[in-house]
Structure 1
Amino acid sequence: MLAVAFKSVPGHKRELDFSDVENDLVILGLLGLIDPPRVEAIAAVRQCQAAGIRVKMITGDHAATARAIAGQLQLGNADDVLTGHELEQMSDEELRQRVLDVDVYARVSPNHKLQLVRLLQDHGLVIAMTGDGVNDAPALKRADVGVAMGYKGTEAAKEASEMVLIDDNFVSIAHAVEEGRTVYDNLKKAILFILPTNGGEALTIIAAILFGFQQLPLTAVQILWVNMITAVTLALALAFEPSEPMVMQRQPRNPQQPMLTLLFLWRIAFVSVILLTGTFGLFLWEMELGATIEYARTVAVNTLVMFEIFYLFNSRYIIAPVLNRAGLLGNRYVLLAITLLIVFQLGFTYLAPMQALFGTAAITLAAWGIIVLVASSVLILVELEKAVIRHFATKET
């Protein structure tokens, strides 16, 4: 609040003292200034809270101002405000106990900001700190993720931070969290796709050796072809997966948790065995029917590739079901990759130069039908496994 007033003085007066404005002032009016939070920032705070992110406000403003803004932002504990003076009266142990509950800090100094970041980290929390001034640099540097303002932020703040917001908008932080979770999910999906398919190839060769086969179901150059062509098409398509529907309703992951969890190890073993059974089984089937080794190997390679095509749909969601329109048709890059791979496989099977290079042979339409039928089993079996996992996860919660 500002009051505006005037006072007449002699024309020769060139300097003002405090005593000159103690009386005889004529009031002109009162001005009220407000710097409310952006509407989109309020929604972004709610989005972060749904994602398990607790938003705290640390400001140099008056406690009453901080409390009012925190109420508009709908912070978790907007009524309880700690001031810098109160922080100085508390011991580290007292503050360590309260820092988890208090979400609003007012009239704080740069040292207080650094202290709060350190105490929150002592609780094992991952801290993202925003700031724009030179005095914010120590806290930005200490935080796990320092976020500087790109428009009004100082160079010192930007250099101390890991991330710079070019629009100075809190919404961008929420978008960054969503994008980061999506990238991490897609990385896990790619690993969960590549390792079981490689495991199926390895187990097929190992099984042939253990059973004493003189001629392996897959040659080295055929394995090289499968790895090269599926990595360029199928595995790459998973990098373009959109965010899962509930990605911002999940709690943050434990930063100490390894990527290869027990679920991942189980899924890798489970799918590897499915691929081994189908690929090696059809190879034995063709050999029993009197097919040539080139024909049987061609069936085995195409079975392995078709397994990977069907398993790609499973890999789009780690736990959620994919047997719906979004799961089967929701990523055009997956459909494009599958189309390209089928074209490559047809060339691999029927073009004479490819047959000479990879030792393949043309197979019948009936063989293709059996291959598709057997390979589709991985889609059904993995979806059943997901349903069982979801069932027990629901019971635990």
Structure 2
Amino acid sequence: MRRAGEEAPPHGGREPGGGTATAVPAPVQSLPPQEVFAALGASPRGLSSAQASDRQREFGRNELPRPRRRRIWRRFLAQFTDLFALVLLVASGLTFLAYALQEPHQVGNLQLAIAILGVVVLNAVIGFAQEYSAERTAQALQAMVPHTCRVLRDGQRQEVPTGSLVPGDLVVLEAGDAVSADCRLVEAHGVLVNNAPLTGESAAVGRMADATHEETALRARNCVFMGTTVLAGSGKALVYAIGAATEFGRIFRLTDDVPQQKTPLQREVAAMARRVAGLALTIGATLLLVRWQTGAPLVPTFVFALGVMVALVPEGLPATLSVALAIGVRRMARRQALIKQLLAVETLGSTTVICTDKTGTLTQAEMTVTRLWANGTVHPVTGVGYAPVGSVRDPEPVRELLRVAALCSNARLLPASGADGPRVLGDTTEGAILVAAAKAEVDMAVSAASAPRLTEFPFDPVRKLMSTIHQDTEGGGYLVHVKGAPQELLRHCTHIDRAGDDRLLTDRLREEVTAAADALARQGLRVLAAARRRTPAVPETQEEAESQLTLLGLIGMLDPPREEVSRAVRSCRSAGIRIIMVTGDHPLTAEAIARRVAIVTTSDPVVLTGPSLDRMDAAALGALLSGPSELLLCRASPEHKMRVVAALQAGGEVVAVTGDGANDAPALKHADIGVAMGAGGTDVAREAAAMVLLDDSFAAITAAVELGRSVYRNIRKFLVYLFSHNIAELTPILAATFAGFPLVPLTALQVLAIDLGSDVLPALALGAEPPEPDTMTQPPRSRRERLFSAALVRRFLFLGAVQSLGACTVFFWHIHASGIPYAEFTADTPAYQEAITMTQASIVVGQFFNALAVRTDRQSVFRAGLLSNPRLLAAGCFGLGLMAAISYAPPLQAVFHTAPLSLVDWAILFAFGLLLLLAEEARKAWLRHRSPRYPAHEGALR
């Protein structure tokens, strides 16, 4: 690796966290390309497998050091900074103080203080465990996204994990690639890179392969760096630094402690927590003053006020919210949708428009050439997929067409390995051309040797052409090979090949070519044209190269639609989601595919091309997009896609955009939900997106939307569940206060037992509810709709009122049935102990039926199935079992001052619980009768 006699680099060898400081002592940017090969011990054929293995052992893996994380104990202590935790800690401290100041000491106050502190600690343990589990899950899911790069090893282009790169590797770079290590370019063809992650400069920066005299590699135009992306062009580069030794690794160390931002949902819940805590403190303070003014002792009254405050605080809300979101993310991962941001889970439920590309998302991304047109004749091609099995009818007239198109390609066919069949390394369109050339018996090895490539002008989504320059070793001079969109290529052609002769391309022949291309497009084929030009000298510019071309013919290829897409499209339609196809293909091809997958169902869809869009102003575009018509955007550039997304958002739509290329990244980032392809997408697209489809299928988007809606609805369900029984805890206390009863119907210890023993687990089970059958038959929720809305408040007030009725009734029934005057009741009175036991049991039983009632928004729970959520039933039974233990177990009786309940008591309690369930069922029936198709997310809460 080092030249003889030279010292090792100051940071040579392996560094902590992987990687090496440098592998070349001289300034890599100042060396000509051939000397860079020599300095790094590399060759134009790349490293051998043995060399790569040796250097991996010497320099380590190409990985950044793991970010420094807070110590475990600090992360655990951070759980105590939650607002609810702080309120309860203060309450516990004040209760300890009351115990210390009151003479004689009241053991009940000590028990209460310890219990409140125990609640805080238990919540901290649950929160910490959930946070740690979510972190591990996120790491595992991220590992499912491929991180690979293309290198030359053993003289062959290979796809290897980025972590296995070593100094001296020859990396092949193309538009859309993320640069995986610090590299020195040795070959560059129109390379533009985005250095924003490294330098903050958003403008594209040109790169070259020539030596420079910059003092540092970071400023050199012949170097590319880890973390940056290739926006355009292609080239080859030698790796000289990996892992922590890269420029990005140096910056990474400075930024790895940046705190993660909260999502809007988390901020909304935090604001709700502040309001609830404020309300609890206000009500507690008010009742303290009221009872104190009536002559009640201060310390017992203060403890009573604390009990009221604890009754209003939903201690399990933070953990329940985290679990619901984490469950949603895991479920989406099982449906092949990786959510990179929790924000995406929230926004998915309100998506109103999906702008989807075609290739790979609606189709299988396995292009197969099925038709060739040359010399005025169509030549069918048999065989499917990337296995070169099949034939071309009458192949002689199309061999030159396929040879030129294949030489003007960068893809490579990989043989079958294991259970996987042959696949393409690179662009699938180019792979299909290589397969067709093999079927036509074109020897590409001989062709490449007779016409070695000198340079290329990479494909540009704006000009829609790719050109390569070759040396003609047989006939002398040089060859220009061009392939691209037929309409664009025709503009650059002056002649057409007819049986080996170049004939002037007249208007009649142009019309013939256009008609042939349209005929292929109507069959749903993607159509490419190929052309060539002989020239005595190497063209100096792209314009010169792509001029005076001779058209060789047309290539029609089919990418079959995915079987599951039609069903997914229909599901989106029933959910009120509009689908707009955005593609670079010919309008006829796009319409044919759109009809096959049910995106187009009418006879007159609106087909808008890129040039037509350029002639429209913002008002005209907004008017077009606001209509309900079926819309296809064809021949679209990245700027066109961005403009459509921005216009839809300006019209109030929530837009999801799919994409796989580097040119899709701006639209993916600008959209409300950017959806990138995990298998066939570029690194740039995956980085810009909020969601990655692991199988590239549109059906995964539909499943993710359904789950996103379900997560949001489940969060609302357990909010209704939590706050409705909080009302049931508070109401008896208020009723006893205003009725002049000297004691509380529910002690603070009982409230804590309810909130922890029979509250948290059912709420968690509600967060795991599967999507309801009507989830994808309702229109999207409005983006202006708040989580804690007036409709949600009305629902939990209704359920809380019914539950409160039962709790107050059983308490005062026991009190009046005893015949004892209010003033003579003490904490040791058996009738009082029975009454508070009945109050607690009434709330616990009510919670059991409440959990069943809120499982569905509009659908009858009997129709959904009372036993269809076994987790919820198990959680409810656990709460009932704990209540029975508190009622019958002598040790718990001593702590909670409770008494055993009779079978008649339990029958009364279950009668009130059933009343709650039936009341909610009646309300749902009224909603269904009033508005059969009312939006579920609002209607069920009204």
TM-score for the superposition, normalised by structure 1: 0.92
CA 196–25 in structure 1, closer or farther in 2 if over 3 Å, else same: same
Distance (Å, rounded) in 2 between the aligned partners of 1:253 and 1:346: 42
Tell me the CA shift for residue 312 of structure 1: 1.2
CA 368–17 in structure 1, closer or farther in 2 if over 3 Å, else same: closer
Distance (Å, rounded) in 1 between the aligned partners of 2:908 and 2:746: 19
**Aligned equivalent of 1:117:** 645
User: Which stretch shifts more, 261-270 or 126-135?
Assistant: 261-270
Answer yes or no: is 1:97 the counterpart of 2:572: no
Distance (Å, rounded) in 2 between the aligned partners of 1:314 and 1:294: 30
Q: Write the letter of the residue equivalent to 2:849.
A: F
Answer yes or no: is 1:227 the counterpart of 2:765: no
Residue correspondence of structure 1 range 352-391 to structure 2 within 5 A: 352-391=890-929
**Aligned equivalent of 1:162:** 690
Deviation string 1:75-118 (CA, Å, 9 cap, x unpaired) is: 24673211111111222211111123351011111111100100
Tell me the CA shift for residue 375 of structure 1: 2.5
Deviation string 1:240-275 (CA, Å, 9 cap, x unpaired) is: 211111111111010111223443222222222222
Answer yes or no: is 1:195 the counterpart of 2:709: no
User: Which stretch shifts more, 234-243 or 103-112?
Assistant: 234-243
Q: Quick check: 1:82–1:102 contact (8 Å CA) kept in 2?
A: no
Tell me the CA shift for residue 15 of structure 1: 6.0
Distance (Å, rounded) in 2 between the aligned partners of 1:355 and 1:85: 81
**Aligned equivalent of 2:859:** 320
**Aligned equivalent of 1:61:** 585
Distance (Å, rounded) in 1 between the aligned partners of 2:747 and 2:634: 70
Identity %: 37
Q: Quick check: 1:316–1:327 contact (8 Å CA) kept in 2?
A: no
Q: 2:567 aligns with which of 26, 43, 54?
A: 43
**Aligned equivalent of 1:70:** 594
Q: 1:25 aligns with which of 500, 503, 514?
A: 500
Moved over 4 A (4+): 14-21, 29-32
Q: Write the letter of the residue equivalent to 1:298.
A: T
CA 31–143 in structure 1, closer or farther in 2 if over 3 Å, else same: closer
**Aligned equivalent of 2:605:** 79
Distance (Å, rounded) in 2 between the aligned partners of 1:158 and 1:149: 7
SS in 1 for 2:862: coil
CA 224–58 in structure 1, closer or farther in 2 if over 3 Å, else same: same
Tell me the CA shift for residue 215 of structure 1: 1.1
Tell me the CA shift for residue 14 of structure 1: 5.5
CA 209–251 in structure 1, closer or farther in 2 if over 3 Å, else same: same
User: Which stretch shifts more, 193-202 or 226-235?
Assistant: 226-235
Residue correspondence of structure 1 range 194-213 to structure 2 within 5 A: 194-213=722-741
Structure 2 residues not aligned, in runs of 5+: 1-370, 375-394, 401-472, 481-493, 502-552, 819-829, 936-942
CA 292–104 in structure 1, closer or farther in 2 if over 3 Å, else same: same
Deviation string 1:4-28 (CA, Å, 9 cap, x unpaired) is: 5258xxx9546676999845439xx
Tell me the CA shift for residue 44 of structure 1: 1.0
Tell me the CA shift for residue 389 of structure 1: 2.2
Q: Quick check: 2:758–2:880 contact (8 Å CA) kept in 1?
A: no
Q: 1:34 aligns with which of 530, 552, 558?
A: 558
User: Which stretch shifts more, 189-198 or 259-268?
Assistant: 259-268
Q: Quick check: 2:591–2:632 contact (8 Å CA) kept in 1?
A: yes
Residue-pair matches, total? 391
Distance (Å, rounded) in 2 between the aligned partners of 1:283 and 1:242: 37
Distance (Å, rounded) in 2 between the aligned partners of 1:347 and 1:224: 15
Tell me the CA shift for residue 131 of structure 1: 0.6
Tell me the CA shift for residue 360 of structure 1: 0.9
Q: Quick check: 2:576–2:777 contact (8 Å CA) kept in 1?
A: yes
Q: CA RMSD in A?
A: 2.4
Deviation string 1:98-148 (CA, Å, 9 cap, x unpaired) is: 123351011111111100100111110000001111111111111000111
Residue correspondence of structure 1 range 125-274 to structure 2 within 5 A: 125-274=653-802
Distance (Å, rounded) in 1 between the aligned partners of 2:857 and 2:934: 19
Distance (Å, rounded) in 1 between the aligned partners of 2:893 and 2:860: 39
Q: Quick check: 1:313–1:327 contact (8 Å CA) kept in 2?
A: no
Distance (Å, rounded) in 2 between the aligned partners of 1:374 and 1:231: 18
Distance (Å, rounded) in 2 between the aligned partners of 1:383 and 1:261: 21
**Aligned equivalent of 2:221:** none
Tell me the CA shift for residue 31 of structure 1: 6.5
Q: Which has the higher helix share?
A: 1
Distance (Å, rounded) in 2 between the aligned partners of 1:158 and 1:40: 23
User: Which stretch shifts more, 214-223 or 98-107?
Assistant: 98-107
**Aligned equivalent of 1:308:** 847
Answer yes or no: is 1:292 the counterpart of 2:831: yes
Q: Quick check: 2:675–2:690 contact (8 Å CA) kept in 1?
A: yes
Tell me the CA shift for residue 169 of structure 1: 0.9
Q: Write the letter of the residue equivalent to 1:144.
A: D
**Aligned equivalent of 2:9:** none
User: Which stretch shifts more, 208-217 or 231-240?
Assistant: 231-240
Q: Write the letter of the residue equivalent to 2:619.
A: E
CA 396–295 in structure 1, closer or farther in 2 if over 3 Å, else same: closer
SS in 2 for 1:227: helix
Q: Write the letter of the residue equivalent to 1:253.
A: R
Q: Write the letter of the residue equivalent to 2:654.
A: V
Distance (Å, rounded) in 2 between the aligned partners of 1:230 and 1:343: 9
Q: Write the letter of the residue equivalent to 1:353.
A: P
Structure 1 residues not aligned, in runs of 5+: none
Q: Which has the higher strand share?
A: 2
User: Which stretch shifts more, 248-257 or 381-390?
Assistant: 381-390
Tell me the CA shift for residue 162 of structure 1: 0.7
CA 110–370 in structure 1, closer or farther in 2 if over 3 Å, else same: same
